[in-house]
Amino acid sequence: MRHIEALAEIGRTPQGGVTRLAFTREDVAGRALLRQWMREAGLQIRRDAVGNLIGERRGKNPNAPILACGSHVDSVINAGKYDGIVGMVCAVECARVIHASGELNSPLHVINFVMEESSRFGAGYGFGSRVMAGAEISKQELFARDRSKVLMARAIQELKGWETGSKIATERTALHATHKDIDASRYDWSRVRAFLELHIEQGPVLERTGKPIGIVTAVAAPTRLHIVLTGEQNHSGTTPMQMRRDALAAAAEMILAVERIANEFVQVVGTVGVIQSEPNVINAIPGRVELRADIRSADAEAKRECVADIRRALEFIASKRGVRSEVTVLADETPVEFSDLVVSAFERVCLAQNIDALKMPSGAGHDAAHIARVAPAGMIFIPSRDGVSHDPREYSAPSDIARGAQVLLAALLDLDARGT
């Protein structure tokens, strides 16, 4: 708890939250604290070229496969003090206990992923974990700019310069330098037996069901649709009701259709979060509307069916109202299933500790989801009060955090005992 409070002081906001965006001076300060704690836990720290921190501990059997755990310490704007931080602090705590007892056959790697949150540059989440997993990072992503017009590739080079004393690449050379750093930061997952991440739930399910631990089985992925509706803009006073092709009225029906259809599927959520209407004035029938819909599930099949149903409904509504509708798929990501190896380790440990855990999917993305594509990975959740996250009101009770740390440690020991 002392570590969590100490991190919350770095980038504290007037509203009582914390803003510690990736690749900023605040991020540097938070990471410096974390490094100190990792060293005190007996870990040897390596910084990869993009900024992921890997704290390594030799095992009693140095050739045994590696056990890895970790999370992130960067935040969104005016965030709470638990998202990512709890998982990182608990991972370090496990390392400290293991260091004190000396009991682990496998080598242990405690990983702090750089820039998990996508809020600064608006790109995909989990930049650091994607780089470590060897996923392709698009040029477009590295070209993104934050609100102060700082290029993402340049920000990566700034962090490197501040932390290692190396010369900071100019904007012109940053892209080239970053491509090289990304290639150099690919991590060898073939040596890893399992990656484990503890995280706050960021949702209400554990609290509502009274379960102290969630064992995450899969991570939902979004399908995103861009819908452009073209009707007929006209005078709102002179055009009789039956002679209209109102794009906004059609959009309204479509928004409700997305909600209704997503509701028909147990494991799917659907949201229209963006609406832009033209000309957006009080005395004209809207002629053109853009909508953006986000449909998520941890169940790939259910999501596919739901999206197909939604697309049929959109077509039906458009033709009924004489409005043209064009649908573009902005993203169509595949949900990630976590490894049975890790899920069953968490289940054994909870059973042994008499913890009534809930197996559940995650609606939010996490670093572990990217790692799951290249190595056995899994996660546990601890309860979030009122299900609130990405807000200063975010809170998890110390007793829940402690329980989570116990489960994480026990799962590492369980996998270690069964390994090699």
Residues engaged in binding Zn ion (CB under 5 A): 83-84
Of 76 and 169, which has the nearer Cβ to Zn ion?
A: 76
Of 233 and 362, which has the nearer Cβ to Zn ion?
A: 362
Three-state SS for 327?
strand
Residue 114 half-sphere exposure toward CB, CA atoms < 13 A = 26
Q: Is the CB of residue 114 less than 8 Å from the CB of residue 74?
A: yes
Residue 330 half-sphere exposure toward CB, CA atoms < 13 A = 13
Of 65 and 84, which has the nearer Cβ to Zn ion?
A: 84
Of 18 and 323, which has the nearer Cβ to Zn ion?
A: 18
Cβ atoms < 10 Å from Cβ of 251: 28
Q: List, in order, residues 6 or more apart from 363 with CB less than 8 Å away.
A: 203, 220, 269, 296, 298
Report the helix count and the strand count for the chain, using DSSP H and E: 13, 15
Among all residues, whose Cβ is closest to Zn ion?
A: 84
Q: How far is the CB of 114 from Zn ion (least distance, A)?
A: 13
Of 129 and 178, which has the nearer Cβ to Zn ion?
A: 129
Q: Is the CB of residue 17 less than 8 Å from the CB of residue 79?
A: yes
Tell me: cis bond preceding 376? Omega within 30 of 0 counts.
no
Burial of residue 235, with CB atoms counted within 10 A of its CB: 0-12 exposed, 13-18 middle, 19 or more buried: exposed
Q: How far is the CB of 85 from Zn ion (least distance, A)?
A: 9
Of 119 and 233, which has the nearer Cβ to Zn ion?
A: 119
